[in-house]
Amino acid sequence: MGLRETNLSVPPPANIGSVVAVRGSVIDVRFPQRLPHIRTLLRTGENQQIVLEVLTQLDSQRARAIALTPTAGLARGMPVEDTAAPLQTPVGHSILSRMFDVFGKPIDLQPPPENVEWRSVHHVPPSLSCRSTHSEVFITGIKVIDVLVPLERGGKAGLFGGAGVGKTVLLTEMIHNMVGHHNGVSLFCGIGERCREGEELYREMQDAGVLPGMVMLFGQMNELPGSRARVGHAALTMAEYFRDDEKRDVLLLIDNIFRFIQAGSEISGLMGQMPSRLGYQPTMGTELAQLEERIANTDAGAITSIQAVYVPADDFTDPAAVHTFSHLSASIVLSRKRASEGLFPAVDPLQSSSKMLTPGIVGERHYHLAQAVRRTLAQYEDLKDIIAMLGLEQLSQEDRKVVFRARRLERFLTQPFYTTGQFSGMAGKTVSLEDALDGCERILNDEFKDFPESALYMIGSIEEVIVPEVSHA
C-alpha cells in the first residue's frame, strides 16, 4: 500500500517523440513509449516555441498533429515533448479588460494577469436538465431589430451578409448599445478577421469606458488554421466560467463564424480528408454543433451570443450559412440591395426571422404591429415590378397607399449609428422599443402621409420628424 502511494506522488516520465514528416502545417510524430491522446498539445522547436495539437493516431506509435504556431525551422528527427494536456485558457476575474490570443497570452502589451486558473478549452455542452426554458427579449436599441427580429436573452443571433454590407458595423453598434446597459460580462471573439478591426475595437471600447467589463480574444486571418479553429472554444471556456462560477450573464460576440468553418475546412484539406459539397469538410455539422451547443441558458446564468456570418457570394444556400441557420434563435439578413439604396442598417425585413416573435413572448400589440409592417413591405415588394413597367399612376388608390406607407416605413427603420458618426456626421441614436413600435403604428395609420419621405430618414423616435416640418411651414 505504501509503495502504491509513493508511485502516485512520482510524476510520470516525460514522453518524448520525434518528427517523422513535415507537410506544411501537418506534422507526423513518432512516440516509441506511449501514444498521446487526441487533442493533446505537443511542443517542439529550438525553444519549445512550436505548438502542435494531435488530431489523429495513425498506428500504435505515430500521431498526426496540426500546427497552432508557424513551423519555420522544424525538421525531421527533432524531439517533440508530449505535454499530456489539451489546449488551455486562463479564467478568473482578473482576465477582465484584457486582450488575449488563442494560448491565453496577453496581446495588449500588459503583463500576464495574476490569480488565474487554466482550464481546457474542450467541454461538453450543458445537459438538458440544467438548461433554463424561460424566454425573454434582449433589447438592442436598434429599431428594425427590436421590432421585426427581436433577440433572445441567452439565445443565438446571426448577422448574415456578403462582403461589405455592414456586419461588423452592426455588431460594433450592438456592443456600444448593450455593453453599457448590460450588467454582466461581455466577451468579443475575433475569428479570422482583420487585425485592424481588433485594434480599433479595443480603442473604441476603451474610449467608451466599457473595457473593465469586457474580455477580447483574437485568432486573426494571418494566423494558422489550427489557431483560428480553436479560438472560439477558448472564448467559450471563458464565457462558461463567468456563467457557471460567477453566476453572471455573458454577452458573447463572435466575428466571424464563417471563418471558424473555413479554418476547419483548411485543416480537413491538409489532413487529406475527402471534401463534401462545395469543398467543405465532411465533419462541418459536428464541428459547428460542438461550438454552438455550448452557448446556452442554464439556471446559473445565460450566454447571449451575437455572431457575424459571412455569406460567400451572397449565396444563402451555401452549406456554411445553412448549417449556421439551424442553430440560431434569430437570423438577421443584411441585403446588398438595401445597402446600395442607403438604407442602413441594411437589414432585409422579409428574409430575417426570429423565434421570439410570437404573441406569448413579445405581446399581442408588438406581434400584430410587426406582422402589419412585414405585410406592408411584402406587398410593396410585389408591386415594384408593376411600378417599374407601368409607373405608380397605374396602381389602384389602395395599392398606392401601401407603397407610400412602405416607403415611409423603410426610411423610419433606418437609424444613425454611434460607430459611424465620425464618417456620416450624424450623431448616433438608440431608440426604445416603445418608441419604435409607436412610430410604426403611426405610419401605418397614415399620420405622416403629408410629410416627405426624407423627413423620416435617419431619425431616432418618430417625434423627431415633426420638428423640421413645423419650422419649414
d(CA 164, CA 112): 36
* Segment (H or E) for 404: helix 397-412
Strand partners, 355: none
d(CA 94, CA 32): 41
- Among 64, 98, 119, 167, the active-site one is 167
In one letter, which amino acid is 31? F
Residues 6+ apart with CB under 8 A from 235: 187, 189, 217, 252, 254
User: Cell 436573452 appears where?
Assistant: 153
Phi and psi for 16 in degrees, rounded to 5?
-110, 130
Whether 449 is a known active-site residue: answer no
CB 205 within 8 A of CB 178: no
Residues 6+ apart with CB under 8 A from 11: none
Q: Which of 438, 460, 457, 430 is nearest to 174 (CA)?
A: 430
* Segment (H or E) for 46: none
d(CA 435, CA 300): 33
- Among 173, 193, 266, 410, the active-site one is 193
Q: How many CB atoms lie within 10 A of CB 311?
A: 21
CB 254 within 8 A of CB 235: yes
d(CA 107, CA 216): 10
Helix, strand, or coil here: 29?
strand
Q: Which of 308, 372, 344 is nearest to 148 (CA)?
A: 372
Whether 4 is a known active-site residue: answer no
Whether 364 is a known active-site residue: answer no
As annotated, the active-site residues are 167, 193-194
